[in-house]
Amino acid sequence: MNGRRVLVTGATGYIGGRLTPRLVEAGHEVRALARDPGRLRDASWADAVDVVQGDLEVADDVRRAVAGVDVVFHLVHAMGAGGDFATAELAQARNVAAAAKAAGVQRIVYLSGLHPQGERLSKHLASRVAVGDALLGSGVPTIVLQAGIVIGSGSASFEMIRHLTEVLPYMPAPRWVRNFVQPIAVRDVLHYLVAAAAVPGEVHGAFDIGGPDVLRYGQTMNGYAVEAGLPQRPIAPLPVLTPWLASQWVNLVTPVPRAIAMPLIGSLLHDCVVADRRIDAIIPPPEGGLTGYRKAVRLAIARERSGDIESSWRSSTPAGAPSDPLPSDPSWSGSTVLEDARERTTAASPDALWRVVEAVGGDRGWYSVPLLWSLRGLGDRLVGGVGLRRGRRDPDHLREGDVVDFWRVERIERGRMLRLRAEMKVPGRAWIEFAVDPATDGGASYRQRAVFLPSGLAGRLYWWSLVPAHHVIFEMMASRIVAVAEEESR
C-alpha cells in the first residue's frame, strides 16, 4: 500500500536518517519532525520531504505534526542527551500516542530493544519497553519492532564494538561478555520498518527481529577483528567489573560518550535473543534472507576500507547504502581518522602555486627536512617497502596512477587538487592532499592535509609517536611550497 502520508520523528537520528529517504523511494509522502530543522539542511532528501519544526515534549507541536498523517514512525530516544532520559522518552511517547489517536492516525511503528521476559531490565531497555507499552495502549494499531545490536556504521552499539576491538589488543571485560546477543544488519532493520507501513490495520503488538546469528558478545568483537584484518583479541571475563566501571573504561579507550556507553552496557547484562519469529508471518524476511553478522560488519566497513577516502573523511555527500556513514552521524562514529591540516594564503597566483604542488617529490624533494624524509625512506626499505628511490615519471606533470617516491597519485584535478596515497609500509592507510584555490584578493589559498586511518592499536601508536616530527615536517612543507610559489611569481 504505497502513497501513504507518513510522519518520521527522529529523522536526524541514526535510523531515521536512513529510513526517511527509503520511505520516499517507496512512494510515501513524508513529513519529518525535527527540533532543529537546520540539521537536515544538508540531507540529500531534504527537498523531497516536508520538514517541520517541533518538540515532542510540547503537545501542541506534536498535534500539528500528526495532522493529516496515516502512519507515524516514532524513532526518537533521549539517551545521551543528559538528564533523566527515561522520563523524557515516556513523556514524548505519551504525547505521540494521544495526538495520533485524536488525529485518526492508522498506524504507529516504533523501534524498540530486544529483551528477555521476566527479568529486571536495565534502565535503557526498561525505557524502551515503557515507550512501546505507551504506544501500544494508544488505541491506534501499533507495531513495536524489538531489535538487538544494530550493525552499521554510525550505530552506537556497533561503534562500541568497533572502537573496543580496534584499540585493545587484549580485552579485560565483565563476565557478561559471554552473554548471548542476536545482532541485526541495519539494512534488515530498514526492511522491516518500511514494510510495516503497509501492514494491515488489525496487526497490533510487539515483535522480535534479529539476524540469523546468535553470538556471545565477545564473539561479536572477534568477528569484527577478522573482517577488519586484525588479530583476534584474547578476552578475559572479570567478575568485578560493574556496568558503571565498564562504562568508564569504554569512555576512556573509545570516543563513545559515557552517557551513551553506560545504558548500552547495562543492556548487555541480559541475553538478548529473538524469542520467536512471529514477525515472519506478517513481514517476510528480505529477498535473499537476513544478513549474517560477519557480512553485516563487512558492509559496515566496506567503503571505509575500499579506497573511497571521501567516505572515510565523512564527506558531505550521503552514502547510498544503509550501512554507510552519513554526515548526520555522531562525530565519534566511523573509523578513526587522524589528520594534520595546514592552510596558507599567498600573493602568488593560483597557477604558480599549482606548478610547485604538481612538481613535488622526486628530484625536487618534499620541501622540508630532507634528512627525515631520507630516514623514512630507508626505514621503509628495511621493512620490505618501496622506499624513496622510485622518483617520478615526469618532473613537472602528474597523472592519476603515477608514482611519486613512496606515494601514488590517487586523484588529480589539475590546477586545483592533488591527492597522493602512501605505498610505504605503515600500520594503516595514509594520504597527503594538496589543494589550491583562488583567493578573493587575487592571490591563492593553499590547503594541505595528511590523513591516516590507523589499523588497531599499532596504527594509533605509530601516528602518535610521529606527531612531533609531523609538526615540523608538515609546517615547513606548507611554508616552503608557498614561499617557492611566491619566488616564481616575481
**pLDDT value at residue 83:** 62
pLDDT at 302: 81
Q: Is the domain of 273 the same as that of 385?
A: no
The Cα diameter of the chain in Å comes to: 81
Distance (Å, rounded) from C-alpha 421 to C-alpha 265?
38
Q: Are 329 and 435 in contact (CB under 8 A)?
A: no
The answer, as to whether pTM is greater than 0.85, is no
pLDDT for 312 equals: 44
Q: Per-residue pLDDT tens for 472-482?
A: 999 999 999 99
At residue 328 the predicted structure's pLDDT band, cuts being 50, 70 and 90, is: low
Residue 327 lies in a domain: no
361 and 220, same structural domain? no
User: Does residue 173 surpass a pLDDT of 60?
Assistant: yes
Does residue 138 surpass a pLDDT of 90? yes
Residue 216 is placed in which grid cell?
Answer: 556471545
- Counted domains in the chain: 2
Residue 343 belongs to some domain of the structure: yes
Residue 193 covered by a domain: yes
Q: What is the CATH number of the domain that holds 399?
A: 3.30.530.20
Q: Which residues contact 210 (CB under 8 A, 6 or more apart)?
A: 114, 147, 148, 182, 183, 184, 273, 274
List the grid coordinates of 382: 628495511
Q: What average pLDDT does this structure show over 420-443?
A: 91
Residue 19 has pLDDT above 70, yes or no: yes
The residue-averaged pLDDT of 109-121 equals 90
For residue 145, give the C-alpha cell: 519492532
Domain boundary among 312, 330, 356: 312
Residue 180: inside a domain, yes or no?
yes
Mean pLDDT across 229-237: 80
Range of the domain at 461: 338-489
419 is a domain residue: yes
Beta bridge partners of 146: 112, 208
Q: What is the pLDDT of residue 119?
A: 84
Instruction: Give all strands of the β-sheet with 407-413 in edge-to-edge order.
Output: 338-346, 444-454, 428-438, 417-422, 407-413, 403-404
Res. 265: pLDDT tops 70: yes
For residues 358 and 416, membership in a common domain is answered with: yes
pLDDT at position 410: 92
- Same domain? For 222 and 347 the reply is no
Using an 8 Å Cβ cutoff, are 158 and 227 in contact? no
Give the closest residue to 194 by CA, choosing from 374, 6, 12.
6
- Model confidence band, residue 253 (pLDDT cutoffs 50, 70, 90): low
CA atoms within 13 A on the CB side of 367: 18
Q: Are 267 and 122 in contact (CB under 8 A)?
A: yes
pLDDT for 320: 55
% of the chain exceeding 70 in pLDDT: 87
pLDDT at 242 over 70: no
Is residue 161 scored above 70 in pLDDT? yes
Q: Helices H, strands E: what count in the chain? A: 14, 19
Residue 79: the pLDDT is: 62
The answer to whether residue 331 sits within a structural domain is no
Residue 332 falls inside a structural domain: no
**Predicted pLDDT at 303:** 65
Please tell me the least confidently modeled range out of 82-96, 202-216, 431-445: 82-96
> What is the DSSP code string of 182-246?
--EEHHHHHHHHHHHTTS-TT--EEEEE--S--EEHHHHHHHHHHHTT-PPPPEEEETT--HHHH
Three-class SS of residue 344?
strand
Q: Which of 267, 294, 312 is the last residue of a domain?
A: 312
| 343, 308: one domain | no
Residues 296 and 354 in one domain: no
What tens digit of pLDDT does each residue of 387-404 get? 777 889 999 999 999 999
Pull the grid cell for residue 12: 536526524
> From CA 468, how far away is CA 475, in angstroms rounded?
11
| Whole-number Å distance between alpha carbons of 295 and 126 | 30
User: What is the average per-residue pLDDT within 5-26?
Assistant: 93
Q: Does 1 score more than 60 pLDDT? A: no
pLDDT band at 167 (very low <50, low <70, confident <90, very high): confident
* Residues pairing with 389 in the sheet: none
Predicted confidence at residue 317, as pLDDT, reads: 36
Cα(5)–Cα(21) distance, integer angstroms: 14
241 and 138 housed in the same domain: yes
Contact 23, 197 (CB under 8 A): yes
Mean pLDDT, rounded, for 203-210: 96
Q: What is the pLDDT of residue 307?
A: 47
Q: At what angle do helices 14-25 and 186-196 cross, to 10 degrees?
A: 50
Within a domain: residue 329?
A: no
Q: Span 271-277, mean pLDDT?
A: 92
Contacts 24+ apart (CB under 8 A), 100-103: 100/66, 100/69, 100/72, 100/138, 100/140, 101/138, 101/139, 101/140, 102/63, 103/63, 103/66, 103/67, 103/68, 103/69
Greater pLDDT, 74 or 124: 74
Report which of residues 121 and 263 the model is more confident about.
121
Please list, in sequence order, all residues whose beta carbon lies within 8 angstroms of the beta carbon of residue 18, skipping any fewer than 6 positions away.
152, 186, 190, 322, 326
* Average pLDDT of the residues of the chain: 86
Q: What is the CATH number of the domain that holds 138?
A: 3.40.50.720
Residues 391 and 289 in one domain: no
Verify that 347 and 294 share a domain, yes or no: no
Per DSSP bridges, beta strands 407-413 and 417-422 are antiparallel
Claim to verify: residue 410 and residue 453 sit in the same structural domain: yes
**H/E element, 6:** strand 5-9
Average pLDDT (304-308) is 54
| Domain-terminating residue out of 294, 312, 330 | 312
Residue 299 has pLDDT above 50, yes or no: yes
Mean pLDDT of 30-36: 92
Q: Mark whether 160 and 209 lie in a shared domain.
A: yes
Confidence of residue 371 (pLDDT cuts 50, 70, 90): confident
Q: Which residue has the higher pLDDT, 382 or 197?
A: 197
pLDDT at 252 over 80: no
Say which range, 61-75, 83-97, 374-388, has the weakest mean pLDDT. Answer: 374-388
In this prediction, residue 92 has a pLDDT band, given cuts at 50, 70 and 90, of very high
pLDDT reading at 142 higher than 80: yes
Q: Are residues 100 and 248 in the same domain?
A: yes
Mean pLDDT for 408-430 is: 92
Q: Name 16's Cβ contacts closer than 8 Å, sequence gap at least 6.
A: 8, 9, 10, 32, 73, 75, 76
Name which of 81, 89, 146 is nearest 116 in CA terms.
146
Among the listed residues 338, 306, 337, the one whose alpha carbon sits nearest the alpha carbon of residue 323: 306
Confidence category of residue 82, pLDDT binned at 50, 70, 90: low
